[in-house]
Amino acid sequence: MELKPLLKTLGSIIRAIFTFIFAVMVMGVMVWAYVEGFQLATSIYGIISFGFYGLLLSCHVLTQSYFAFIEHRRMRDRRDPCSFTKTIGFTISAYQEDPAYLRECLNSVKALKYPPELLRIIMVIDGNGEDDRYMMEMFKEMFADEDPCCYVWQHNYHTWHGGEAVEKTKESDFGGVTIDIIEEDPQRKEVEQLIQSKRCVCIMQQWGGKREVMYTAFKALGSSVDYIQVCDSDTKLDPLATVELCKVLESNPKYGAVGGDVMILNQKESYISFMSSLRYWMAFNIERSCQSFFNCVSCISGPLGLYRNDILQQFLEAWYNQKFLGTHCTFGDDRHLTNRMLSMGYATKYTARAKCYTETPAQFLRWLNQQTRWTKSYFREWLYNAMWWHKHHLWMTYESIVSGVFPFFVTATIIQLFWTGTLWDLLWILCCIQLIGLVKAGYACLLRGDIVMVFMSLYAGLYMTSLLPAKYFAILTMNKSSWGTSGRRKLVGNYMPLVPLSAWASLLLGGLGYTIYHEMQLDWNTPAKILETKFLIFGSMAYAAYWLLMLFFYWVWFRRLCRRRARRYKINI
């Protein structure tokens, strides 16, 4: 009678052991290829070479691109209709949102092509002060024809027992035994009743961070809906977004969550927002599309995601109470929510047919703060995710290791070349980085059918100068918890992420100075150095020409956008 559970447990143990061996093998091969530096092809005097490690990375990019392409074809060929029978709790998390973005978000929610009687809309505002009330008033205005219910909660789910509960403690004597009776927050019951009975509800609650806001919506909904959709207050949804997400979850009961294609709303605002828009497209339509082929998308993004509610409710408390090194986690909410679903053995999917637009930081410092926060959650969740590799396809194990160790290998390579390499070594690695970027950008142009993706090759500059050092700052400050990105109505006041950038620049400039001094001591009249000089001259010209040409094209493209935007304005006199 107990043979089946025993065999299942035994199979899980064997799979875990096999996955661990596979992970060690992948890590071992990568470390060996990097440390050994085995060369597959090299030119005379070793000026140009192609190693085994470079071959591994090239194969990884090609394999990832291939499976992403196959998954896109699957998405296009999917013809399953939506049943329009599932009830959905549509949750919006709001915090000091720009009124223009919030209005666009609410307008897009109203325009969703999903039966209103099956869609329950809940917006929870992180903050209940007068400065936050404009968001509630906007919600009331936008849904005036839906009989909206707005409620100000003086606390939240986790602040009542730490405060007024002590003052409201009563004592009752039963047979000489004193019993402490702790009263519940009466507003909590009202919030839950409103959310479970009304179609459009807006709740203002005591500040507690984004995870607290999401928890309120999830907890109050309980088991009253089939699916829960998440959305941020700066997100503009495509009218068919919810329908397309539903189609995916309905197609297979083993699909626990699905995310959609997140694009940038303010793409034209600055160079940073433009580069972010290209990076978003690559992240979703190549990286997550490939992960979706193997049913293991690593993160269902907050702007557009749909979860099976019965599964989500099972790990809701564990998700909220997540701790790392003894500190309660308040960021990385979406990635941990996805990881919890993966830990249950359910598949996570991505569909490019569900689309939305979201705001991204346009200023460098705010963007850097955002990336630092995301990196913190990435490395923390990497450790948690590793415990469940055995429950999913080996691709999840392989990709996690490759993406996890890649920044450290890049850092070691750059530092080594700047301090112990030659000038040509430095130029060669920079050329290789841009060449790989151009190849990936070219493939993205073909897949997307838009030449603008060629600018994606410029992202390597941001990665090498800013994101790479920021990753180490994120690791060192992983236990510092906050929303990370300030509300859009406030100026960024956190300049700490600039410290690692300054240290990184000093380290590289010091190495460059040392290399130049060392090179000046050598005899440049030897045949090897004469040939290296020619490579240096032509390589420098090619590298400079690439950047000048790409920046010129960007300038032309940006000016064209500005002229288009200018034609839209009319002046009435």
DSSP string of 146-196, one letter each residue: G--EEEE-SS-TTTSTTTHHHHT-EEEEETTEEEEEPPP-HHHHHHHHHHH
Long-range own/partner contacts, residues 115-119 (CB < 8 A, 24 or more apart): 115/84, 116/146, 116/199, 118/84, 118/85, 118/86, 118/87, 118/88, 119/87, 119/88, 119/90, 119/199, 119/242
Q: Summarize pLDDT for 287-304 with one digit per residue, the tens.
A: 999 999 999 999 999 999
Which residue in this structure is represented by tokens 């013809």?
Answer: 79
How wide is the angle at C-alpha 215 spanned by C-alphas 209 and 220, nearest 5°?
Answer: 135
* Residue 211: both structure tokens together: 């995870």
Q: Is the pLDDT of residue 350 over 70?
A: yes
225 in Cβ contact with 309 (< 8 Å): yes
Across-strand partners of 347? 255
Sign of the four-CA dihedral 264, 266, 267, 273: negative
Helix or strand run (H / E) with residue 51: strand 49-51
Least Cα distance to 379 among 350, 409, 400 occurs for 400
**Residue 84: both structure tokens together:** 């329009």
SS3 399: helix
For the segment 442-476, what is each residue's pLDDT rounded down to a tens digit?
999 998 989 999 999 999 989 999 999 999 999 98
Tokens of 538: 């032509």
What was the pLDDT predicted at 168?
A: 44
What interhelical angle do 3-36 and 394-420 show, nearest 10? 20
Dump pLDDT digits (tens) for 201-251.
999 999 999 999 999 999 999 999 999 999 999 999 999 999 999 999 999
Interval 419-442 mean pLDDT:
89
- 461: which residues sit within 8 A by CB, 6+ positions away? none
In this structure, what DSSP letter does residue 464 have?
I
Give dist(CA 127, CA 218) in Å, integer.
18
Q: Specify the residue for token string 């789910």.
A: 157
Residues in the chain, overall count: 573
Per-residue pLDDT at 44 exceeds 90? no
**Whole-angstrom Cα Rg for the chain:** 27
- Percentage above 70 pLDDT, the chain: 91
| Cβ–Cβ under 8 Å, residues 280 and 259 | no
What pLDDT was estimated at residue 287? 95
| Predicted pLDDT of residue 527 | 87
User: Is the pLDDT assigned to residue 6 strictly greater than 70?
Assistant: yes
The answer on pLDDT for 114 being more than 80 is yes
pLDDT given at position 170: 45
Q: What pLDDT score does 171 carry?
A: 46
For all residues of the chain together, what is the average pLDDT?
88
How sure is the predictor about 253, in pLDDT bands with cuts at 50, 70 and 90?
very high
143-195 pLDDT per residue, tens:
999 999 999 999 999 987 644 444 444 444 445 555 555 567 889 999 999 99
Candidate from 209-213, 401-405, 434-438, 506-510 with smallest mean pLDDT: 434-438
Q: Which residues pair with 236 in a beta bridge?
A: 357
The residue to which tokens 């596979």 are assigned: 22
Q: Is residue 84 within 8 Å of residue 118, measured between CB atoms?
A: yes
Q: Which residue has the tokens 């979706």?
A: 292
Flag whether pLDDT at 376 surpasses 70: yes
Tokens 């309980």 sit on residue: 222
Residue 555, pLDDT > 90, answer: no
How, if at all, do strands 177-181 and 170-174 pair?
antiparallel
Confidence of residue 573 (pLDDT cuts 50, 70, 90): very low
pLDDT at 5: 80
Q: Is the pTM of this model over 0.85?
A: yes
**How many CB atoms lie under 10 A from the CB of residue 418?**
20
pLDDT of res. 39? 76
Quick one: three-class SS letters along 322-333? CEECCEECCCCH
Longest dimension (CA), the chain: 103
Q: In this prediction, what percent of the chain has a pLDDT beyond 90?
A: 65
Tokens encoding 228: 């829960």
CA distances from 482 to 63, 354, 501 (A): 37, 30, 21
Residues 23-30, mean pLDDT to the nearest whole number: 94
H or E segment at 358? Answer: strand 347-358
Whether the Cβ atoms of residue 539 and residue 424 lie closer than 8 Å to each other? yes
Q: Is the pLDDT of residue 107 over 60?
A: yes
The pLDDT of residue 528 is: 86
CB 332 within 8 A of CB 237: no
What single letter denotes the amino acid at residue 334?
D
Q: Is 233 helix (H, G, I), strand (E, B) or coil?
A: coil
